[in-house]
Homo-oligomer: A and B are copies of this chain.
Amino acid sequence: MTRLSDIGEDALISRLIRLVPLDPAPAAGPGDDCAVIDPGSAHPALLLLKTDALVEHVHFLPDAPARAVGWKSCARVVSDFAAMGGHPAHFLVTLALPPQTPVAWAEDLYRGIADCLQRFGGTLAGGETSSVPPSSAALISIAATGSVLRHHLTLRSTAKPGHALLVTGTLGGSRLAKHLSFIPRMKETDWLVSHFKPTAMMDLSDGLARDLLRLASASGCGFVLDRDYLPVTEGCTVAEALGDGEDFEILLAMEEDRVAGLLAAWGQEFPELALTRIGCLVEAGTGEILEGGWEHFTKDLAK
């Protein structure tokens, strides 16, 4: 019998979505950071939908501060909206918790959710709480709506061979430190889609090795990575920068002839945050193959 641990997350998803009715005319195909719903051409904005879950022992450890877990649960979703050029709106929060969970833990979790909604402008629209058996991991699932102006929408699938690849911040080591406290790059993506709209964009949640492959594949390209220029977090190796995951930095593609102008303007606008050219897209079937990155079901948990 084939089990989930035999095939991994991406293969599972591609097997499952064949079985269900999909939007016959989606504004973005499955596999981008969010689902995009077109409410009709009379509307200037598109509807974004996203769901994301945090599982104890997988995405956070039992001793993580609940307020930071709450922040992370919503910040991951905000990061996905930012990666499309959009903004969050209405949040639904599902808590599935064992009965022995302290009430104060759930309240601190909600304070972290409130911190994130207040900072990025979302509101709580609803949610639900459910018990899980006492031996089960706690789970927080966030579903949210967002919106993006039509001309700001930036997909993963619209870059072309020859476009440069750039990344914000530094990569690696997030699971030791910032995975619970990262700031979604919404200010930066807002500026990008208004001033230097990327040809493709996504946020880095599963590690550059996996996520770069996803952007390149979605755009029908291969890629070449300039390892010497990779912005590696101090104290981390290149392998950790490629594979740790949960960086929540922004990976973007842009025509080569706009890169110099972008980098100059970026330095003026965001002097404290690096933006680094890390390689380029090439024709499909050429380029390189990377190993590493986070894989659900087939990797050990709670490393």
Q: Which residues of A contact B (CB under 8 A)?
A: 1-7, 9, 12-13, 15-17, 19-24, 26, 30, 34-35, 37, 39, 47, 49-53, 55-59, 90, 92-94, 96-104, 106-107, 110-111, 113-114, 117-118, 122-133, 135-137, 139, 141, 143, 145, 296-298, 301-302
Contact = CB atoms under 8 A, between A and B. Distances in A.
A56 B133 CA distance: 8
A110 B20 contact: yes
B94 A51 contact: yes
A132 B137 contact: yes
Contact of A51 (B20, B26, B52, B143): B143
A137 B49 CA distance: 26
A6 B131 contact: no
A296 B126 CA distance: 17
A123 B27 CA distance: 14
Contacts of A117: 20-21
Given A126-B34, A128-B52, A301 B4 contact: no
A5 to B, nearest CB: 4
A123 B21 CA distance: 5
A96 B139 CA distance: 9
Given A3-B100, A100-B3, A103-B4, A125 B21 contact: no
Contacts of A13: 127, 129
B128 A4 contact: no
Given A30-B126, A51-B143, 6 more contacts: A4-B97, A49-B125, A52-B128, A94-B143, A130-B296, A132-B139
Contact of A55 (B23, B102, B130): B130
A135 B131 CA distance: 16
Given A53-B141, A100-B5, A23 B132 contact: no
A37 to B, nearest CB: 6
A4 B139 contact: no
Nearest to A37: B90
Contact of A4 (B3, B53, B114, B131): B131
A99 B58 contact: no
Contacts of A15: 103, 107
Contacts of A297: 97, 99, 129, 131
A131 B3 contact: no
- Closest 5 pairs between A and B when the two form their complex, measured CB to CB: A143-B143, A35-B125, A5-B99, A35-B126, A51-B92
Given A101-B4, A110-B20, A301 B57 contact: no
